[in-house]
Chain A
């Protein structure tokens, strides 16, 4: 695969606030995104990848603060969301809707035009959508839940918060199986395919104070103990993106938070650096994603350019998009891919979901 013919098919506009998370729902044409307000929206993508961007169909009400991650299980029945509102919620994707509501898709633009001189005046773009509420609220966190991941076998849901609390729970029942505290704030987590280990990066973003913290460690989940401390290798780096390859052999580590977004591939066994990738995201990495073909992976960052890499040797295969902005660029917060690897969705800070055909 060369991705030579990859192209941007639609920009699903949802200009209310930054779009911060995105997930395809199982094998369907459904895609759900979350934003900084805590709202979630669903679209159904048409079969034919052409024409105008479709309007959203459903609004998910529940979270009261930014949605940080969305994860859907493979059969498309249940969606999980983590948020700054200290909760993780479960959404039944096949439940009945609980009403209807209106959304204004260009609310952000209209608000801004009060203060900024835009050349075009816009009328509000109203849209009727179904309304659905969450089916379950999972506790266990008392701070912003920054990270949430599903294990490969989908039996475990991992989450971490800014209070340093890491939680492993049984996904089906929602019950907490293991939890422990790390010293800093949990910045990113990657879980091994056999669910036995976790790679966790920590931070406490102070500038000059001695209490500042940046750390990266490998943990044994059962014993809740750190087995390897890789912090020295990544001294003084914020690592907002981590990933564990599905074959269990490679760890991906991405630097970010406005520092230069370099990416490293580590040997999962030893923790040693195998390679530093040759290209980087200006201003930082935000997310990693593995292609279902097991041969490629994607990275997104604070420069609206999604990069496609070869998992075997870390070479850059393709860049999707251009950096957008002035001295500082807009961000892609998160990316997801359909199980057949044909479509890529990107949560774009500029209030939209970008759909790419690969």
Chain B
């Protein structure tokens, strides 16, 4: 029996409404903001079983070399476009399999964002907010795991592998911290334990007892983070078979590509099947300030089979209508090519791609000018983008939380979801 306070246990309705939390055991617990008015929406989203898979192109993929090609222009580069299974729409010649899945994709070519570098860009594109030290924002995985996940499940609700976000669970608290697998999707080292279960249990109980004494007086966030992480590590031992895909992988590796990213995408499919609501797979490395074209060619040769197989498998299992697949990086890349044969960071006009979960595929949203220097139509900022993501997953994008006494919303006030691509 757990004898220490967890925020989700022992809450009574009155305490909830008051916004202050006194658990059944009588200890005062920090308001992580995760509980204020969340019940209704959580249940709805959970019932529908919505999921999200984020394909994170670390370093910032070049839009002109992937989805927003500019054939014939001086700065178009050496890649050539090919047609897709949708009339009039093209992709780079190195995404031939994705060309056959274009009818599932909504390609947003008019991203116009505000954080040009890696740490700030990764943060901004994972939270929808600019990095600031005033508020620790919650990243997309934490939000989705909270609203579409179940804290009591043995499998973590926020799984990731490869390079990914840097914001963490923020104001949602350490309950929604991510679980990181190794780059190839395998369990982190030290995932097995040789102790007898009863020894493990009694040790755990002793730990909880000692911690409860301490936490009565000490409320700082790191302590709670520490305790919750330990609990999660214990729980994980029970569930780790879910991460073992070694039996099925040999049949799938030719389809997904025998690469870390390919395996990660397959793992995401399997975890989504088991109800994990958010999985992020990072792909390294698109930050081609030098040798941009050979870098992107090599990356696309990995991206293409993995992404397309994931979409096909989700569709075959009838899961695509409830699973949002997001493709993005932290920044785009410049239309002009520098003297290192590279493209530098660019945030004035770039591209992200959404599919699944009611997103209407086979279309472009927004456009950039003839060389890709500025947005020509329908600019989309981070807030709008996140608003679209959350709305597709049944999450209220203006849901309010608290950090201390300060209110925080999931998306900024002027954020609007892109209704044109949502059904």
Q: Do A and B come from one complex?
A: yes
Given known A65-B80, A205-B295, contact A330–B339 (CB-CB < 8 A): yes
Please tell me if B197 contacts chain A, counting CB pairs below 8 Å. no
**CB neighbours of A149 from chain B (8 A):** none
Question: Residue-by-residue, is A190-205 near B (CB-CB < 8 Å gives 1, otherwise 0)?
Answer: 0000000000000111
By the criterion CB–CB under 8 Å, are A349 and B339 in contact? yes
> Which of A36, A205, A211, A349 is the one whose CB lies under 8 Å from B294?
A205
> Which of A36, A115, A302 is the one whose CB lies under 8 Å from B78?
A36
Closest to A210 in B: B260
Q: Once bound together, how far apart are the Cα atoms of A203 and B298, in whole Å?
A: 10
Q: Once bound together, how far apart are the Cα atoms of A65 and B284, in whole Å?
A: 27
By the criterion CB–CB under 8 Å, are A331 and B78 in contact? no
Q: Once bound together, how far apart are the Cα atoms of A66 and B294, in whole Å?
A: 13
**CB neighbours of A258 from chain B (8 A):** 290-291, 340
Question: Residue-by-residue, is A220-236 near B (CB-CB < 8 Å gives 1, otherwise 0)?
Answer: 00000000000000000
**CB neighbours of A17 from chain B (8 A):** 74
By the criterion CB–CB under 8 Å, are A84 and B298 in contact? no
Q: Once bound together, how far apart are the Cα atoms of A17 and B183, in whole Å?
A: 40
**CB neighbours of B80 from chain A (8 A):** 65
Question: Residue-by-residue, is A13-47 near B (CB-CB < 8 Å gives 1, otherwise 0)?
Answer: 00001000000000000000000100000000000
Please tell me if A1 contacts chain B, counting CB pairs below 8 Å. no
Q: Once bound together, how far apart are the Cα atoms of A185 and B258, in whole Å?
A: 17
By the criterion CB–CB under 8 Å, are A209 and B259 in contact? yes
Q: Once bound together, how far apart are the Cα atoms of A90 and B299, in whole Å?
A: 33
Residues facing B in A305-329 (CB within 8 A) are 325, 328-329
**CB neighbours of A65 from chain B (8 A):** 78, 80
By the criterion CB–CB under 8 Å, are A329 and B339 in contact? yes
By the criterion CB–CB under 8 Å, are A207 and B284 in contact? yes
**CB neighbours of B290 from chain A (8 A):** 257-258, 328
> Which of B74, B285, B373 is the one whose CB lies under 8 Å from A208?
B285
Closest to A116 in B: B336
By the criterion CB–CB under 8 Å, are A331 and B339 in contact? yes
Contact size class for B? Answer: 20 to 34
By the criterion CB–CB under 8 Å, are A328 and B284 in contact? no
> Which of A144, A204, A328 is the one whose CB lies under 8 Å from B340?
A328
Please tell me if B302 contacts chain A, counting CB pairs below 8 Å. yes
Q: Once bound together, how far apart are the Cα atoms of A283 and B341, in whole Å?
A: 12
Please tell me if B297 contacts chain A, counting CB pairs below 8 Å. yes
By the criterion CB–CB under 8 Å, are B78 and A66 in contact? yes
**CB neighbours of B252 from chain A (8 A):** none
Q: Once bound together, how far apart are the Cα atoms of A208 and B258, in whole Å?
A: 15
Question: Smallest distance from the beta carbon of B286 to chain A beta carbons, Å?
Answer: 9
Interface size on A, residues (CB 8 A): 30
Closest to A257 in B: B291
Closest to A207 in B: B285
By the criterion CB–CB under 8 Å, are A205 and B298 in contact? yes
Question: Residue-by-residue, is B318-355 near A (CB-CB < 8 Å gives 1, otherwise 0)?
Answer: 00000000000000000010111000000000000000
By the criterion CB–CB under 8 Å, are A209 and B78 in contact? no
Q: Once bound together, how far apart are the Cα atoms of A151 and B78, in whole Å?
A: 29
Q: Once bound together, how far apart are the Cα atoms of A231 and B275, in whole Å?
A: 46
Question: Smallest distance from the beta carbon of B71 to chain A beta carbons, Å?
Answer: 11
Q: Once bound together, how far apart are the Cα atoms of A349 and B340, in whole Å?
A: 10
Question: Smallest distance from the beta carbon of A96 to chain B beta carbons, Å?
Answer: 30
Q: Once bound together, how far apart are the Cα atoms of A285 and B302, in whole Å?
A: 28
Please tell me if A108 contacts chain B, counting CB pairs below 8 Å. yes
Question: Smallest distance from the beta carbon of B345 to chain A beta carbons, Å?
Answer: 16
> Which of A206, A257, A349 is the one whose CB lies under 8 Å from B299?
A206
Q: Once bound together, how far apart are the Cα atoms of A185 and B295, in whole Å?
A: 12
By the criterion CB–CB under 8 Å, are B285 and A328 in contact? no
> Which of A66, A144, A209 is the one whose CB lies under 8 Å from B284?
A209
By the criterion CB–CB under 8 Å, are B338 and A328 in contact? yes
Residues facing B in A230-282 (CB within 8 A) are 257-258
**CB neighbours of A111 from chain B (8 A):** 74
**CB neighbours of A325 from chain B (8 A):** 339
Residues facing A in B290-311 (CB within 8 A) are 290-291, 294-295, 297-299, 302
Given known A84-B78, A328-B338, A349-B339, contact A211–B302 (CB-CB < 8 A): yes
**CB neighbours of A349 from chain B (8 A):** 339
Question: Smallest distance from the beta carbon of A182 to chain B beta carbons, Å?
Answer: 15
Closest to A187 in B: B294
Question: Smallest distance from the beta carbon of A209 to chain B beta carbons, Å?
Answer: 6
The 10 closest A-B pairs by CB, nearest first: A207-B285, A208-B284, A258-B290, A205-B294, A84-B78, A205-B298, A328-B340, A206-B298, A330-B339, A111-B74
Instruction: Please give 19 more A-B residue pairs, beta carbons under 8 A apart, in addition to A66-B78, A206-B302.
Output: A17-B74, A65-B78, A144-B78, A162-B294, A162-B297, A203-B294, A205-B291, A205-B298, A206-B285, A206-B299, A207-B284, A208-B183, A208-B284, A209-B284, A211-B258, A257-B290, A257-B291, A302-B340, A330-B339
28 A-B contact pairs sorted by A residue (CB < 8 Å): A36-B78, A65-B80, A115-B336, A162-B294, A162-B297, A185-B294, A204-B298, A205-B294, A206-B284, A206-B298, A206-B299, A207-B285, A208-B183, A209-B259, A209-B284, A209-B302, A210-B184, A211-B258, A211-B302, A257-B290, A258-B290, A258-B291, A258-B340, A328-B338, A328-B339, A328-B340, A329-B339, A349-B339
